[in-house]
Structure 1
Amino acid sequence: MTARRFGVMLYPDQPVEVLVERALWLEQLGFDQVYLPDHSGDLRDRRGTWHDSWLVLAAIAVATSRVRLGTMVANQILRPPAQLAQQAMTLDHLSAGRLDLGIGAGIFSWDHHSVGGHPWEPKERLQRFADYVAIADGLLRADEPMFSFAGPRLWVQEVATAPGCVQSPRPPIILGGQSPTVLRTAAALAQGWNTHGPPGASAEDTLDATARQNRRLTELARLAGRDPAAIRRGYTIFRSWDPKMGKHTYEEVFYRFGEIGVSDFVLDWPGDTHLEEFARVATEVIPPLRE
């Protein structure tokens, strides 16, 4: 059985020193990972404070010593794949090999507008995503001093790969999303897959959809000649299953999604009103589930 892991999503909507303090607290509570989202602004209130997640992760990497760090998920809209690989490689060094690189296809029109572009059609977005992940994967593996790739949508030529990553052959890649393209790409080369369920779906529909996608990922991994157990399955606790909404407990979420094969859970930052319950879950509920 795959050992369970528990991470927390931090939002870069506070002063950097506050975010570092929160990450240190999460490390002390025993969480396995700290993740930050990757957008041009706060999707909850785009007029609010929003720092660059990669720079915040760098500050957290220097301050912490054990907890793993990463993006959930890096946004292909905001930077070219070679830049993503360079940022990931640098963070892998800053953290002494504690990076988990989540990558997503990107869906928000305002992220496109922030880089002076128009939103892609779904087919183009997913074709770009497959090439994007392949380029990041190749650059981070650093098998050769220079890396080139030509895909249907994206290409790079003779990109330097030095100094290479601390982790070998590269940091784990976690792909976030639910489309067939995301699942196929995860089956081919990722170490993890993460979902928060279909937008607007009920709790039970989210559970059913995640179970179906998880089974499909297993089938695709076998077709790709990989051991399905080599791909961790994750759920970011969101909306209909969020215990802060008052309908479900963390214990129920861990049990119900564990039954369908989920081993990795990403909890939302609790906010000031739920800190005590959050600490209880971290210290009393989660440790037995790891055993």
Structure 2
Amino acid sequence: MKYGFIFTGTDPNLAVELAPLAEASGWDAFFVWEGIWATDPWATLAAAAMVTERIRLGTMLTPVPRRRPWELAGQTMTVDRLSNGRVILSAGLGVPADVEQRFWIFEEDPGRKVRAELLDEGLELLQPLWRGEPFEYEGEHYHAHRTDTMLPPAIVQEPRITTWVVGVWPRKRSMRRVARYDGWIPNYTPPEADGIDPVLQQRTYTPEIAAEAIAWIRAEREQAGLADAPFDVVQEGTTSGTDAEADAAIVRPWADAGATWWLESDWSVPAKRVARYARDRVRAGPPRV
């Protein structure tokens, strides 16, 4: 089990302060969130890369359908090179307008189907973009003409920047997308539910359901010839940082189910308390099992 801390605040200076503190306190990764009309996460992570040596750096998460893949490729490549290959890209569809209108103040939500198509093509297009070599691409939403000039440097990581993808269990199309990449960020919708309800998910998603989904992913990856490639399973949650035994009891069932990363976050902390909370929780270290 590895452990990451998600900084839920917005101050880039504080984020850059926290990254080396997280490294010194035993965390394995440090994440910032990516919004619309918000602090630039990749500029923040570039600065964090210059003051850390070991810790992984990433977003939680990047709405790939909202981004131009070539610009995202340049940002992630830059941080990957500055950090010597420590970047994690967490990719998802993005928050729909009916859940949070704040994320759609500049454009209309094209709907889940189109966003899913954009996610598939965006992830596919990132692969040759990261190599920094001439290529051509023709998709439904994106195309690229071949060029042999002004090519950017390639990323450090091989074969790509570690890419975790949101997948909705038990929706097989969504989960097959996950199985092609490097990690699963779980969403869950009970079979009887009409749609994806974050509150319902929090109440009904259990380690037992996670174990069932992880077994399915492993079988899918084996069938695709990917069984021997590294693959992460993420679980996000909140622990106290003050009671090691109680914190371990929260994390252990997810580790037993097959999760490989625990991401510590508390999105309920008010903005005026985020700095103190983040410093204290990061300094206390991860909830090791």
Deviation at 1:171, TM superposition (A): 1.9
Rate the CA distance shift 1:120–1:252 in 2: closer, same or farther, 3 A: farther
Rate the CA distance shift 1:202–1:85 in 2: closer, same or farther, 3 A: closer
1:183 lines up with 2:170 in the alignment: no
| 2:64 matched residue in structure 1 | 76
Aligned counterpart for 1:89 among listed residues 60, 69, 77: 77
Rate the CA distance shift 1:278–1:162 in 2: closer, same or farther, 3 A: closer
Deviations 1:23-58 (A, max 9, x none): 1211110111111121115xxxxxxxx411111111
After superposition, the CA RMSD in angstroms is 2.8
1:205 lines up with 2:208 in the alignment: no
Question: Contact 1:89/1:165 (CA < 8 Å) preserved in 2?
Answer: yes
Aligned mates of 2:131, 2:174 — CA distance in 1: 20
Aligned counterpart for 1:101 among listed residues 82, 89, 107: 89
Q: Which runs of 5+ in 2 are unaligned?
A: 190-197
Deviations 1:261-283 (A, max 9, x none): 1011111168435865664453x
| 1:45 matched residue in structure 2 | none
Q: Which runs of 5+ in 1 are unaligned?
A: 42-49
Aligned counterpart for 1:9 among listed residues 6, 9, 14: 6
SS for the counterpart of 1:158 is coil
| 2:125 matched residue in structure 1 | 135
1:164 lines up with 2:154 in the alignment: yes
Rate the CA distance shift 1:217–1:228 in 2: closer, same or farther, 3 A: farther
Rate the CA distance shift 1:209–1:153 in 2: closer, same or farther, 3 A: farther
| Greater RCO (CA < 8 Å, at least 6 residues apart) | 2
Q: What is the correspondence of 1:1-291 to structure 2 with a 5 Å cutoff?
A: 4-14=1-11, 16-40=12-36, 50-109=38-97, 110=101, 113-114=104-105, 116-142=106-132, 145-158=133-146, 162-178=152-168, 179-188=171-180, 190-195=181-186, 197=188, 199-200=198-199, 201-227=201-227, 230-237=230-237, 242-243=238-239, 249-268=246-265, 271=274, 272=276, 279-282=283-286, 285-286=287-288, 289=289
Aligned mates of 2:136, 2:102 — CA distance in 1: 27
SS for the counterpart of 1:96 is coil
Deviation at 1:8, TM superposition (A): 0.7
Deviations 1:174-230 (A, max 9, x none): 112325344212212x12222265511344534344333322222221232211662
Aligned mates of 1:76, 1:103 — CA distance in 2: 6
Question: Contact 2:25/2:284 (CA < 8 Å) preserved in 1?
Answer: no
Higher mean displacement: 65-74 or 170-179 = 170-179
Question: Contact 1:196/1:236 (CA < 8 Å) preserved in 2?
Answer: no
Rate the CA distance shift 1:20–1:112 in 2: closer, same or farther, 3 A: closer
Aligned mates of 1:161, 1:231 — CA distance in 2: 30
Which amino acid is the alignment partner of residue 239 of structure 2? P
* Percent of matched pairs sharing the same residue: 22
Rate the CA distance shift 1:158–1:180 in 2: closer, same or farther, 3 A: farther
Rate the CA distance shift 1:278–1:87 in 2: closer, same or farther, 3 A: closer
Q: What TM-score do the two structures reach when normalised by structure 1?
A: 0.79
SS for the counterpart of 1:60 is helix
Question: Contact 1:77/1:111 (CA < 8 Å) preserved in 2?
Answer: no
Aligned mates of 1:157, 1:101 — CA distance in 2: 25
Rate the CA distance shift 1:197–1:228 in 2: closer, same or farther, 3 A: farther
Aligned mates of 1:228, 1:267 — CA distance in 2: 28
Rate the CA distance shift 1:184–1:77 in 2: closer, same or farther, 3 A: same
Which amino acid is the alignment partner of residue 29 of structure 1? S
Divergent runs of 4+, >6 A: none
